Amino acid sequence: MMSKMFPLAVFTGVFAFVYYACFVFGYTPVRYYPLLGEFTTQDLPRTAGPAMGWFTWIVVGAVAGLVAGLAAMVVPKNIGERLAMGLSWVVPIGVCVWILIVEWHWFVE
């Protein structure tokens, strides 16, 4: 059996990558309209208020991360141990830094 932290690191990396990909490409098959308190798969008229896609991004990222994490559980221990745990966090940290760079315009005038 491999390290218990390896599947968690894989989950984190895949979740971060898929979450950001959904955000960038606007993948929101399910939208939440807070003014109506409704989830829907269709665009509603502007009178329904703003739609939120955040819930979709979380669910899609979590499902992709869970599948990848479960797949990582079958990796033999010797291979999992060879992968430095510090390197396995490069993906989520890199995605966070990339998001900060891309979205920096929100923080400066």
What is the DSSP secondary-structure string of 3-50? -THHHHHHHHHHHHHHHHHHHHHT--SSEEETTTTEEESSPPPGGG--
Residue 64 in this model has a pLDDT that exceeds 90:
yes
> What share of the chain in percent tops pLDDT 90?
44
Residue 97 in this model has a pLDDT that exceeds 60:
yes
What is the reported pLDDT for 12? 84
Residue 87 in this model has a pLDDT that exceeds 70:
no
Both tokens assigned to 19: 């979450």
Q: Which of 52, 57, 12 is nearest to 36 (CA)?
A: 52
What is the reported pLDDT for 83? 67
Q: For the chain, give every domain's residue range.
A: 5-106
Mean pLDDT of 12-25: 89
Q: Alpha-carbon distance 44 to 34, whole Å?
A: 12
Q: Between these two residues, 69 and 84, which has the higher pLDDT value? A: 69
Which residue bears the tokens 């502007």? 46
